Structure 1
Amino acid sequence: MTLTKVVIYTFIAAIAITGAAYAYRKPQNLFIAFIKNFLGAFLIFSGAVKAIDPLGTAYKMHDYFIAFGGFFPKLDPLTLPLAIFMVVLEIVLGIALIIGSYRKLTVITTGLLILFFTFLTGYTYLNGFVNPKYFDKEYVAEMQAQNQEVPMIVEFDENNMKVTDCGCFGDFLKIEPRLSFYKDIFLMVLIIILLMSLSKITPLFAGSKAGLIILLVSTAITFIFCLSNYVTDLPMVDFRPYKKGNNIPQLMVPEREAEQEFTFIYENSNSGEVKSFDMKNLPKKEDGWVFKDREVNIIDPGIPAKISNFLVLNEEGEEVNADLLEDENYNFWIVAYSLEKTKKSVFENKLNDLATKAQSDGYQVYAIASDANDDFRHDVQAAYPFYTADATFLKTIVRSNPGLVLVKNGVIIDKWHHKHIPTYEELKSEYLK
């Protein structure tokens, strides 16, 4: 899926909605009706893919709060309720636009929401032009001592961005920051058109009672749906690379290797001449050439691997990826992105018994956490090793803390939310045959 396809499908949906609404109640202005329906359908779709995985939106808010700095990191405990609020608001506003209820309030609130999104996508994209070295006081002082200025604005570099993905469509669709920013600018233009044409927006239902009922019911359903995708179970659709059936080792290989060309810049200490060289024709130091900089020309960006951050370490700090991914037998991963925030009772009442029985049948069991420690292992009396991995990586594997993942030869057989962890007998009957 691409942003272009999303726009095309939304365009088609808007035509269908406009046609159906026209048959039910003729609008004052067909063009305005189409714009509000397009915007409404777009918001509903954008909100729906995030409602499937509200934790993913909360994690993205966490990234932004850390990037903003200041007092924002203190808001981290609010990321999940804020994420759910934003998702519900987005969907309900989309529905309100389509049915034309509370025209002024709906359009203004939608405009404020999109303005907020525009700020986030703009922050994400425009940070690519900001030189991070400009804020390094020691580096700036060193350059100034050499009579060299350190510019604040530089050519766009994705590595300069503090947040590399806006999360507009959750994990369903990743789009480059530039397109995401332009997308929100386009939506703001549509909002301005609607603001200038409020009187031409025709409500689908006469009177406000029907519209109010629809919006209240939509709010309740969306809220309950969000909760069902993290409080009681895993997301109903898994958009991440660690979904059931995926072969992890295969996804760690780039679909197409990137092709780059390096240029090395040297300055001659004798003549002051500055010249560029390729890798095959580097100058000799004895001729007075001193290395100054390196430029990278990307000939083909390639298609990167869908999984590029798989790294698990044992108690000694040694990589154990092979133990987890090359085991031809079934093995169990108990994944907890934070032991500090996890539920000890799940380990004590469910996972320990499952692990003991699995180990007695010859299966390997590993606990993987970002803050693995012996104190926790002793507290819950776990008789299996605790490995360490990055918290973001663990959050991507399973949206539960803890969660259980069944793997065989690097393929994810299944995974479970901590409220739905089966007994070992159930696992043995259904999977371990």
Structure 2
Amino acid sequence: MKPSIRQKRSFKLLSHACRLILACTFILSGFTKVIDPWGTALKVNEYLSIYGMEVLEPASMTFSIWLCGAELMMGCMLLFKVRIRLISIFALASMIFFTLLTLLSATLLPVEDCGCFGEALKLTPWETFFKNLVLLPMAFVVWWRYRPDRIFAFKPLEIALTCVFFSLSMYLGYYCYIHLPLIDFLPYKVGVNIREAMQAPSVAPGESETVLVYRNLKTGEEREFSLDDPEWQDADTWEWVDTRTTSDVPAIRPLISEFALRDAEGDATGEVLSTPGRLYMLCVTSFDRLSPRCARRMARLVEHAAAEGAQVVCLTPDPLYDVCWHDFGSGEVRCYNIDASTMKTMLRARNGVVVLDDGTITDKRNCRDIRP
């Protein structure tokens, strides 16, 4: 009897190669996103806003940890052939779904990037679509190879490994949520001098003008602002959509060049970044939602800074209509306005601290990890 295609050695080798490629892709994609749940939640919110499902935004953080953790878990199970029949079905279904989603994102409802590899690797929707077109047949080959196997026939070792992969993947996302990403792929990583990075030219002077595009949270209307216009800094009214240059030069999004601090007296970016010695920048998303425990940690940090002769400022996207000082419980700290998107790019936490030494980032911590 002529052997079936599944029994041929060449097909088995092909299916193994496809399984390994899929596994590595899922692991890389899941890992780069699950270690940055805040960034993934922002991308999820962007998709929800585009598809008119803003009502689901409060669940975006939970969904981002679950989705990326599941992707990482699926890659590990493919790699070690754990419950391979069931996982091959999930892999094929997910590839079909995301191929259609990226096609939609590249045509009818375009986005700047898909976010499939988090901040580690930026791909356009078309690049992601063609990547998925390559992976989709591989998922089909793996599904076809293990199709005769029983779906719910599990060995005790497979059940144990499934629980281990699930626990590790979800805990990794939760750990990075309550602390900071294990690997920082963003421009404000430790070792970067913000002032020098801001001054690094992306295009020759005079060739372009930077335009910020923001969406009104109440009306949905998109509006363009110049960098000097302070209105876009009102995080309660405007949501960042895009940054582009008005010239023939391809638009490059130099995120760190958008770093700006203001108060009622005007721009204070240069003054703050040129502070000699150590500077603690306390980042507070909202004073009304600042927990007493976090406020006490920041108060102790203010005391510690005074003892070592360091400076302290507070950065917040909350609107400041006058020269503002905030007392965390151990002395008043000068406050400055910062764009909400910029602060989330600099510090992946609701509240925390960024430490500068002569303008260079030397440490970043979630408020839970402030131990002066």
TM-score (ref. length: structure 1)? 0.66
Q: In the superposition, relative to structure 1, how do residues 38 and 350 fare at CA in structure 2: closer, same or farther (>3 Å)?
A: same
Distance 1:243 1:261, change over 3 A: closer
Q: Does 1:330 align with 2:313?
A: no
Question: 1: CA distance between counterparts of 2:115 and 2:104?
Answer: 13
Name 2:361's counterpart in structure 1: 412
2:254 aligned residue (292, 297, 305): 305
Q: Corresponding residue for 1:41? A: 24
Partner of 1:53: 36
Aligned length: 324
Return closer, same or farther for 1:246/1:297 CA change in 2, 3 Å cut-off. closer
CA shift digits 1:164-194 (9 cap, x unpaired): 2221111111223321221122222322333
Change (3 A) 1:340 1:165: farther
Point out which structure has higher relative CO (alpha carbons under 8 A, 6+ apart).
2
Question: In structure 2, what is the Cα distance between the partners aligned to 1:260 and 1:186?
Answer: 42
- Checking the alignment, whether the CA contact within 8 Å between 2:37 and 2:61 is kept in structure 1 is yes
Partners of 2:132 and 2:206 in 1: CA distance:
32
Question: What SS does the aligned partner of 2:177 have?
Answer: coil
Q: CA 1:185–1:254 in structure 2 vs 1: closer, same or farther (change >3 Å)?
A: farther
Query: Aligned to 1:363, which of 279, 296, 310?
Result: 310
| Pair 1:192 & 2:170 matched | no
**Residues 98 and 132, structure 2, Cα contact 8 Å, conserved in 1:** yes
Which residue is 1:8 aligned to? none
Displacement of 1:229 after TM fit? 1.2
Counterpart CA distance in 2 for 1:308 and 1:118 is 34
| Residues 312-327 of structure 1 mapped to structure 2, 5 A cutoff | 312-314=261-263, 316=264, 318-327=266-275
Once the two structures are superposed, the pairs formed by residues 135-146 of structure 1 within 5 Å of their partners are none
CA deviation after TM superposition for structure 1 residue 379, in Å: 8.3
CA RMSD of superposed structures (Å) = 3.3
Q: What is the CA distance between 1:29 and its match in structure 2?
A: 0.8
Which structure has the larger Rg? 1
Unaligned segments of structure 2, at least 5 residues: 1-8, 209-245
Paired AA for residue 218 in structure 1: F
2:114 pairs with 1:166: yes
- Displacement of 1:218 in angstroms is 0.8
Equivalent residue, structure 1, for 2:242: none
Map residues 18-417 of structure 1 onto 2, 5 A cutoff.
Answer: 29-69=12-52, 72-127=53-108, 161=110, 163-199=111-147, 208-231=155-178, 233-254=179-200, 256-257=202-203, 298=248, 301=250, 305=254, 307-314=256-263, 316=264, 318-347=266-295, 349-359=296-306, 362-372=309-319, 377=326, 383-417=332-366
What is the CA–CA distance in structure 1 between the aligned matches of 2:32 and 2:294, rounded to whole Å?
29
Question: 2:85, 2:150 within 8 Å by CA — same for their partners in 1?
Answer: no
Cα distance between partner residues in 1 of 2:305 and 2:129: 50
Amino acid at match of 2:350: N
Counterpart secondary structure, 2:257: coil
The one-letter code sitting in structure 1 at the alignment partner of 2:361 is I
Structure 1: gaps (5+ residues) = 1-25, 131-160, 263-295, 424-433
Whole-Å separation in 1 of the counterparts to 2:359 and 2:30: 33
Does structure 2 conserve the Cα–Cα contact (< 8 Å) formed by 1:242 and 1:412? Answer: yes
1:182-222 Cα deviation digits (max 9, x unpaired): 1122222322333343348899xx96322222121111111
For the residues of structure 2 that align with 1:192 and 1:340, how far apart are their CA atoms?
Answer: 51
Cα distance change of structure 1 residues 297 and 257 upon mapping to structure 2, 3 Å threshold: closer
Give the Å deviation of 1:303: 6.1
Equivalent position SS for 2:107: helix
Kindly indicate whether the alpha-carbon contact (under 8 Å) linking 1:372 and 1:387 is maintained by their aligned counterparts in 2: no
Q: Partners in 2 of 1:169 and 1:341 — Cα distance? A: 31
In the alignment, the residues of structure 2 paired with residue 73 and residue 339 of structure 1 have an alpha-carbon distance, to the nearest angstrom, of: 24
CA distance in 1, matches of 2:174, 2:268: 35
- Counterparts of 1:250 and 1:240, CA distance in 2: 16
d(CA) in 2 for partners of 1:259, 1:319? 21
| Contact 2:325–2:332 (Cα < 8 Å) also in 1 | no
Whole-Å Cα distance in 1 between the matches of residues 359 and 297 of structure 2?
Answer: 24
Amino acid across the alignment from 1:257: V
Instruction: Give the Cα separation in 1 of the matches to 2:75 and 2:88.
Output: 10
TM normalised by structure 2 equals: 0.76
Q: Measure, in 1, the Cα distance between the counterparts of 2:127 and 2:75.
A: 22
